[in-house]
């Protein structure tokens, strides 16, 4: 008689999953069928999806725990990992291995079969559908969930010994300080070097909170060991590189506050890596909103203002990506981004990157007002005249067009520049298509103003 799955055997969990799916269907139907649906309906759909995701993670976690206690038949184990195969493939010699482990063997330069030691005639790996189906049926009978090989495919086989090492290291993050420091340093090294170690954090709902334990246990930032904070923050950066981890890392409650604290109080390396982690996590739109709401923009802007060469690029990238969300533009402007960006541009620091950020912020009316007040117009005209980068000229003229359209007092400066150097006319002839369009728009308005003045 087949055993019941860990997930399916719990009627409460099954009922909850069914209920959530029905709710999700209702919300999605409302969004698809009704053109006048409420924004709250989207939020409710997102919350329902998150709840389903949490149930799925619990299912996976339970399945992993059960797998540890169940011994699988030897013919289902990879000869290299001694573990249940997730993606069995056939080597040229006819032997079957789990794909990530045999790929690891071949990438190391081996051209023989690990079992038979025969020289391989080729290195093509053929899926063993029969064994895969047999393993799938065995897992179903045991109540186990066989991981999807597509989602597993990180290209690095991880052995049972490596999994045990991972669990041991994560467990030591709740030990005494010397063990915490050693474990944090090793986790930093392994998550940088091995994609599979990054993926392991996604398999356990407790691993990231355990990683953060040393920082959470300290009563104040001054009590945190600088090297320990740096290792933990850098490990978070390494984890966030793994696409499947981005949502999990950002939504672990303590992560964003600890990254913000690191921006304020860490060594320059820690602060740089915290900014890089926020940049990497902000690849997801939902994370952009979450990070912005958490108050990360102010410490990022403060760090940009400090101008440390190690941190500048990562900080600028983080602010730039976050400002793709409209509400974050308002936060950045409120937190002083325009003043800091203009000052750095005028000082000739990271002009390319910071001009692109200024162009993004120029869609916010308050930012445009500030640019006009802080002397942006002469600065932008000088860059168009002197800078050879077409993209920089395009960003400058686009910002100028918006400033002048909102503040008529700036036309005098533009007219003087045009009379002295012909800067706008030259760009209208030689710039990118967008730059030409904006430059011609400015010239047309300038001519109208001149004609009106003459008429008057």
Q: What are the angstrom distances between the C-alpha of 190 and each of 168, 206, 241?
A: 13, 18, 13
Q: With respect to residue 314, please indicate whether it lies within any of the assigned structural domains.
A: yes
Same-domain status, 275 and 205: yes
Q: Are residues 60 and 84 in the same domain?
A: no
**pLDDT tens-digit series, residues 194-253:** 887 888 888 777 899 999 999 988 755 556 789 999 999 999 999 999 888 999 999 999
The reply to whether 379 falls in a domain is yes
What pLDDT does 384 receive?
A: 96
Q: Are 131 and 94 in contact (CB under 8 A)?
A: no
Q: Given pLDDT bands bounded at 50, 70 and 90, which one contains residue 7?
A: very low
Lowest mean pLDDT among 65-79, 350-364, 430-444: 65-79
Establish if 201 belongs to a structural domain. Answer: yes
CB 135 within 8 A of CB 84: yes
One domain for residues 170 and 319: yes
Q: What is the mean pLDDT of residues 170-179?
A: 93
> The domain that contains 90 carries what CATH number?
3.30.40.10
Answer whether residue 106 is part of any domain.
Answer: yes
Whether 319 shows a pLDDT value over 60: the answer reads yes
Residue at which a domain ends, from 318, 335, 352: 335
pLDDT band of 100, cuts 50, 70, 90:
confident
Q: Looking at the structure, tell me whether residues 314 and 192 fall in a common domain.
A: yes
Domain count within the chain: 4
Residue of higher predicted confidence among 327 and 14: 327
pLDDT band at 32; cut points 50, 70, 90:
confident
Shared domain check, 286 and 412: no
pLDDT > 90 in the chain, percent: 60
Residues 404 and 267 in one domain: no
Q: Rounded distance, CA 96 to CA 115, Å?
A: 10
Beta carbons of 240 and 246 less than 8 angstroms apart: yes
Band of the pLDDT at 443, cuts 50, 70, 90?
very high
Domain presence at residue 198: yes
173 and 296 in one domain? yes
Residue 348 lies inside a defined structural domain of this protein: no
Same domain assignment for residues 62 and 78:
no
Whether residue 178 is found in the same domain as residue 293: yes
Which residue among 48, 66, 84 closes a domain?
66
Q: 390 is in which domain, residue-wise?
A: 361-455
CA-based nearest residue to 198, from 231, 157, 151, 240: 240
- Measured CA to CA in angstroms, residue 136 lies from 34, 98, 130, 251, 307 at distances of 41, 14, 10, 32, 56
- For residue 278, what pLDDT is reported? 97
pLDDT (mean) for 447-455: 64
pLDDT digits (tens, 9 = 90+) for 256-289: 999 999 999 999 999 999 999 999 999 999 999 9
Query: Which pTM does this prediction carry?
Result: 0.69
What confidence score (pLDDT) does residue 221 get? 54
Answer yes or no: are the C-beta atoms of 439 and 427 closer than 8 Å.
yes
Structure tokens belonging to residue 320: 């730039």
User: Are 119 and 173 in a shared domain?
Assistant: no
The answer as to whether 301 is a domain residue is: yes
pLDDT of residue 223: 63
Both 111 and 187 in a single domain? no
Q: Do 296 and 245 reside in the same domain of the chain? A: yes
For residue 77, the SS3 value is strand
Write down the pLDDT at residue 157. 59
Over residues 356-415, the pLDDT tens digits come to 999 999 999 999 999 999 999 999 999 999 999 999 999 999 999 999 999 989 999 999
pLDDT at 448: 84
Is there a domain that residue 353 lies in?
A: no
d(Cα 234, Cα 447) in Å, to the nearest integer? 56
Q: Tell me, what CATH number does 254's domain have?
A: 1.25.10.10
pLDDT tens, position by position, 111-155: 999 999 999 988 888 889 999 999 888 888 887 766 666 444 444
| 455 pLDDT more than 80 | no
């Amino acid at each position: 008689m087949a055993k019941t799955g860990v997930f399916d055997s719990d009627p409460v969990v099954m009922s909850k999953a069914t209920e959530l799916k029905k709710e999700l269907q209702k919300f999605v139907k409302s969004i698809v069928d009704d053109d006048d649906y409420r924004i709250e309906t989207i939020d409710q759909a997102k919350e329902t999806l998150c709840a389903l995701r949490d149930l799925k993670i619990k299912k996976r976690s339970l399945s992993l725990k059960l797998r540890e206690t169940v011994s699988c038949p030897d013919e289902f184990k990879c000869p290299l990992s001694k573990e249940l195969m997730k993606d069995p493939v056939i080597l040229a010699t006819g032997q079957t291995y789990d794909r990530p482990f045999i790929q690891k063997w071949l990438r190391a330069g081996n051209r023989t079969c690990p079992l038979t030691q025969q020289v391989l005639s080729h290195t093509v790996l053929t899926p063993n559908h029969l064994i895969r189906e047999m393993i799938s049926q065995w897992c179903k009978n045991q109540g186990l969930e066989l991981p999807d090989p597509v989602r597993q495919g990180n290209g690095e086989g991880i052995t049972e010994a490596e999994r045990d090492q991972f669990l041991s290291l994560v467990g030591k993050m709740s030990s005494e300080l010397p063990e915490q420091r050693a474990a944090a340093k090793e986790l930093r090294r392994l998550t940088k070097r091995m994609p599979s170690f990054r993926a392991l954090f996604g398999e356990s709902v407790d691993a990231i909170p355990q990683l953060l334990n040393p920082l959470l246990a300290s009563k104040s930032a001054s009590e945190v060991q600088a090297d320990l904070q740096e290792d933990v923050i850098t490990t978070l950066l390494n984890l966030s590189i793994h696409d499947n981890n981005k949502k999990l890392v950002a939504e672990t409650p303590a992560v964003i506050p600890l990254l913000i604290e690191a921006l304020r109080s860490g060594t320059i390396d820690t602060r740089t890596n915290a900014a890089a982690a926020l940049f990497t996590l902000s690849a997801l739109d939902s994370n952009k909103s979450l990070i912005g709401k958490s108050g990360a923009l102010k410490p990022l802007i403060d760090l940009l203002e400090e101008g440390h060469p190690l941190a500048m690029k990562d900080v600028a990238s983080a602010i730039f990506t976050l400002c793709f969300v409209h509400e974050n533009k308002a936060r950045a402007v409120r937190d002083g981004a325009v003043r800091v960006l203009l000052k750095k541009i005028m000082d000739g620091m990271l002009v390319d990157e910071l001009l692109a950020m200024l162009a993004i912020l120029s869609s916010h009316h308050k930012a445009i007002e500030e640019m006009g007040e802080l002397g942006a117009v002469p600065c932008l005209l000088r860059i168009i005249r002197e800078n050879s980068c077409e993209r920089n000229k395009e960003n400058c003229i686009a910002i100028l067009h918006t400033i002048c359209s909102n503040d008529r007092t700036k036309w005098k400066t533009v007219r003087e520049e045009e009379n002295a150097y012909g800067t706008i006319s030259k760009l209208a002839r030689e710039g990118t298509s967008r730059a030409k369009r904006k430059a011609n728009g400015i010239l047309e308005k300038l001519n109208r103003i001149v004609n009106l003045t003459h008429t008057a």
